[in-house]
Amino acid sequence: MQTADIRQRWLDFFSERGHTVVPSASLVSDDPSLLFTVAGMVPFVPYLTGLVPAPFPRATSVQKCIRTLDIEEVGKTPRHGTFFQMNGNFSFGDYFKEGAITYAWELLTTSEADGGYGFEEKDLWVTVYEEDDVSFDLWRRIAGLPEHRIQRLGKSENYWSTGQPGPAGPDSEIFFDRGSAYGADGGPATGDDRYVEIWNLVFMQYLRGAGSGYDFPILGDLPQQNIDTGMGLERVAFLKQGVENIYEIDQIRPVLDRAAELSGRAYGANHDDDVRMRVVADHVRSSLMLMSDGVTPSNEGRGYILRRLLRRSVRSMRLLGVDAPTFEALFPASRDAMKAAYPEVETDYDRIGRLAYAEEETFLRTLASGTTILDVAVDKSKSAGSAQLPGDTAFLLHDTFGFPIDLTLEIAEESGLSVDRAAFDMLMTEQRTKAKADAKSKKSHLADLSVYSAFRAKGETIFTGYDFLDTDSSVLGIIKDGESITRAVVGDIVEVILQETSLYPESGGQEADQGSIVGNGFDLEVLDVQRPVKGLVSHKVQVRSGEVGVGDAASSIVDPGYRRGAEQAHSATHLIHAALRQVLGAEAHQAGSYNKSGYMRLDFNWSKPLSLETRSEIEDIANGAIRDDLEVSTRIMPLDEARSLGAMALFGEKYGDTVRVVQIGSPWSLELCAGTHVARSSQVGLINLVSEASIGSSNRRVESLVGIDAFRDLAAERAIVNELTANLKTPREQLPERISDLVASLKAAEKRIAEFESAALNERVPALVGAASRIGAVTALVENVGELNSSDDLRTLVTSVRGRLGSDAVVVALAASVGGKPAVIVATNEAARSLGAKAGALAKTAAGILGGGGGGKDDLAQGGGSDVSAIGIALEAISSALPR
């Protein structure tokens, strides 16, 4: 049974039983405490927790998920994958334990011919929470399972909660017994890989209190009982396809086979090679799916996880003996295996492939430079007589240069060295502990949002700002320091929830509106406007005067000047995006944006800098659209219809079933967008593209000033040009040539001055050589040479004098005032060093007296400080330290 068939049977089964089929959400999670959608239930959390009223009583989905906590286990076990698909069915106060157990057993054991999965009843085991007698009895009655195949386990195995105060409840898991060839008898309680968990049914029925781990109190029953179940699609696929693990199923095996082909090694012949091939197959698929949802490689957040997956793939291919690029072969294999279920991986493959290939090329260069650094470290360890490479060196290579520890171990071993793995592991543990602490600090999101649930239950906030700048409404709620309160007084900074608002909440790259909320006897300054949960708008305000209370009549008032500027900037973003695509092609796709009154920036997928001519062309095209006074219109329509019209969507952005489409011209630009816009393109006024830069190996950023801000910037440049034309007495059109001539003349003059200064320095050398004298066991010149232009001049004098004093033991120590600060440089020859005269030690001695620091190599070193008057004493200290 193919994976796509397993997926479709699930959706058909639950759809026929009254469940609303919900498309998979993006891998990029809406929850700010999560980087990715890590479980099938994540998109339904607001409904399961009661934060947002569920739009349907029961639902089903096949959700794309990414989870990398167990990344080191990938390839080593039959079931660990970073990308996986979770089949889920959900009930929001509808059916409960009996319904969930009935559906699960029916679908699993119904024959394939009748639309089920056709599992033999004798191969299925069940676990329940040890105190959940209801579930135990239901399994006995509905499935007819013997008691020994229903195992009672503790909270750590069969109890669910978010880890925070809130919903909780027992769960029940279904396992498939692979048979005695795969391990010991005894059921899932043994923890053996023989028993594969394929389905988890969570019975969300209690409200839990605060506590750590599984030690928390149950405060009572939830207002409604919910069902959240999940069946691992890949796990069922490998069981139904009769293969040994998830890496061998039809959606993953083609990449594994391609990796084997490229490496010339047979899958199944060597355990270590098999693990590497599985890692490649898993990580390439995960990377493909992440990039299809708009994630791009970077050094932080989601982009860092993607980059790590890509680089682990490159590393694994290298360990398989392949040093050349492989992604151009591996990624198409994954695309072809996944496109039946996710057509977007094919339609958007040009962009995905370009990102992947560029990242591989970059990392191969990193490996080359990392190898050079490692070679130096190996030589240093050998020279010191050590048989071990320091752990901090291995960690530096891993953490700073992205150089995998496996390659460090491999190269060190080839050189006859081991690696201080204990020290490396300790540094890695410290890093992970810090990362986990950071992550833990963000996991209070669900608890923090619970304060909004009562307000969201009253319905969605109505946004009137597309049509009105002022809107009369009423205060639904006031929140201060995370707690709901009834009144706020002068000076308080609180959140205010209104039934309707004309103030735009920050979203879609557009900054929140500025403005105020006023009512009878109170005036609130709006500091920020956000959507803390879907459908609810919260206004962060400071009470400027009066006192505001829940239930008061209130009017939201948008600052018209700010809104006008924001509309100009957002429409300018669309114009620049369209112009970019006209000039660069369709692959120059928006990857993010930010706009506010007078300013916009746009990130886009592109790997090369834009020439000045290209920037000018983009700017000219966008301003041409402004000149053409194109109509800007908006329409609300189903998402599928918008896509069929060719409306551009931002990768990684979340869209509902209905969307707002903004069209400029007919259509010059057509995008999905919830922001505010001008009515006609001419109202944008002017676009001044002020910068273009890299923000990653495959992303660029353009920034523009818009409207009056663009004009003021150009006016400032005009003033500068006018001043230059006046001072240089040159017409504007001749300025570039005139300035170029002046720069060339200046460089020539600087060169002549440098030649004169060099000659002057050389003329001083004979006198300095003649001033050398015997001090102790060496011939030495220890002297203050006065003021010099640079330390380089001082170094030139020192090395020139040393070279002329012969091969006997020589020490030259010269000091000077450079830019008002003291500098001393010491040089020794080999004969002097053999007597113990070390330049670094002598320079450090002098620098200590000069009020600074210094040091260097034994043959040449430099010191400095802040006290010019101490030069004489510092030179005396050098003389005293010379060998006798």
Alpha carbon distance 555, 577 (integer Å): 36
Higher pLDDT pick, 396 / 319: 319
Quote the pLDDT of residue 29. 83
- 460: how many CB neighbours lie within 10 A of its CB? 13
Instruction: Identify the pLDDT of residue 650.
Output: 67
The pLDDT confidence band at residue 435, using thresholds 50, 70 and 90, is: low
pLDDT at 95: 95
The response to whether 398 counts as a known ligand-binding position is no
- Predicted confidence at residue 301, as pLDDT, reads 82
**SS3 per-residue string spanning 748-793:** HHHHHHHHHHHHHHHHHHHHHHHCCEEECCEEEEEEEEEEECCHHH
What's the CA gap between 288 and 343, in Å, rounded? 12
- pLDDT at residue number 731: 92
Contact 822, 790 (CB under 8 A): no
How many CA atoms does the CB half-sphere of 752 hold within 13 Å?
A: 5
Select from 653, 697, 700, 82 the least CA-distant residue to 355: 697
Q: Which helix (H) or strand (E) holds 281?
A: helix 271-292
Q: Are strands 418-419 and 500-501 parallel, antiparallel or unpaired?
A: unpaired
Q: What percent of the chain has pLDDT over 90?
A: 64
Q: Are 172 and 127 in contact (CB under 8 A)?
A: yes
Would you say 101 and 139 are in contact if contact means Cβ atoms under 8 Å apart? yes
- The annotation status of 673 as a binding-site residue, yes or no, is yes
What mean pLDDT is predicted for residues 845-870? 89
pLDDT above 90 for 619: yes
Helix then strand then coil, % of the chain, to nearest 5 = 45, 25, 30
Fold of 762-881: Diaminopimelate Epimerase; Chain A, domain 1 (3.10.310)
pLDDT recorded at residue 163: 77
> Poorest-confidence range of 196-205, 434-443, 756-765?
434-443
Query: What is the tens place of the pLDDT at every residue in 153-199?
Result: 999 899 998 777 888 999 999 999 999 999 889 999 998 889 999 99
The CA-atom distances, in angstroms, between 866 and each of 312, 821, 851, 881 are 50, 5, 6, 22
pTM confidence score: 0.69
- Residue with more model confidence, 138 or 70: 138
The confidence score (pLDDT) of residue 227 equals 95
Nearest to 675 by CA among 791, 815, 568: 568
Contacts with 828 (C-beta within 8 Å, 6 or more apart), sequence order: 802, 810, 811, 812, 837, 838, 839, 842, 858, 859, 860
* Fold observed for domain 448-558: Elongation Factor Tu (Ef-tu); domain 3 (2.40.30)
Q: How far apart are CA 309 and CA 291, in angstroms?
A: 12
CA distance 121 to 127: 15
Residue 815, pLDDT > 90, answer yes
Q: Which of 117, 114, 84, 338 is nearest to 241 (CA)?
A: 117
The string of DSSP letters for 370-403 reads HHHHHHHHHHHHHHTT-SEE-HHHHHHHHHHH--
Give dist(CA 326, CA 322) in Å, integer.
8
The 10 Å Cβ neighbour count of residue 115 is 14
Query: Distance of alpha carbon 219 from its chain centroid, rounded?
Result: 38
Tokens, residue 594: 């930010």
Confidence of residue 606 (pLDDT cuts 50, 70, 90): confident
E strand or H helix that includes residue 406 = helix 405-414
Q: What is the CATH number that goes with domain 563-715?
A: 3.30.980.10
- Give the list of residues 6+ apart from residue 75 with CB closer than 8 angstroms, or none: 247, 274, 275, 276, 277, 278, 279, 282
pLDDT one-digit tens code per residue, 216-256: 999 999 888 999 999 999 999 999 999 989 999 999 999 99
65 annotated to a ligand binding site: no
Q: Is 570 annotated as a binding residue?
A: yes
Q: Is 277 helix (H, G, I), strand (E, B) or coil?
A: helix
pLDDT for the residue 441: 42
User: What's the pLDDT band for 447 if we cut at 50, 70, 90?
Assistant: very low
State pLDDT tens for residues 494-545: 999 999 999 999 988 899 999 999 999 999 999 999 998 888 999 999 999 9
CA 637, 638, 643 angle in degrees (round to 5)? Answer: 95
Q: What are phi and psi of 787, to 5 degrees?
A: -95, 135
In 3-state terms, what secondary structure has residue 239? helix
The pLDDT assigned to 434 comes to: 64
Omega prior to 332 cis, within 30 of 0: no
Separation between Cα atoms, residue 873 and residue 133, nearest integer Å: 90
Which band of pLDDT confidence, cut at 50, 70 and 90, is reported for residue 724? Answer: very high
Per-residue pLDDT tens over the stretch 550-571: 999 999 999 999 999 999 999 9
* Amino acid found at 243: V
Mean pLDDT rounded to a whole number for the chain: 90
Q: What's the CA gap between 10 and 288, in Å, rounded?
A: 24
Residues 402, 23: Cα–Cα separation, whole Å: 36
Average pLDDT on 451-473 reads: 91
Q: Where are the beta strands (DSSP E) in 805-853?
A: 810-818, 821-828
Cα 605 from chain centroid (whole Å)? 15
The DSSP H or E segment spanning 275 is helix 271-292
Q: Which of 872, 842, 873, 874 is nearest to 860 (CA)?
A: 842
Least confident of 364-373, 629-638, 696-705, 859-868: 364-373
pLDDT at 444: 38
Q: For residue 63, what are the contacts with CB-CB under 8 A and spacing of at least 6? A: 24, 25, 37, 39, 40, 42, 43, 85, 86, 88
- Percent of residues, the chain, with pLDDT higher than 70: 96
Contact 255, 276 (CB under 8 A): no
Q: What is the pLDDT of residue 560?
A: 96
For the ranges 84-98, 446-460, 738-752, 780-794, which has the lowest average pLDDT? Answer: 446-460
Of 703, 706, 704, 700, nearest to 591 by C-alpha is 700
What pLDDT does residue 440 have? 44
Among 179-193, 198-212, 645-659, 809-823, which is the least confidently predicted range?
645-659
pLDDT at 780: 93
Fold of 3-243: BirA Bifunctional Protein; domain 2 (3.30.930)
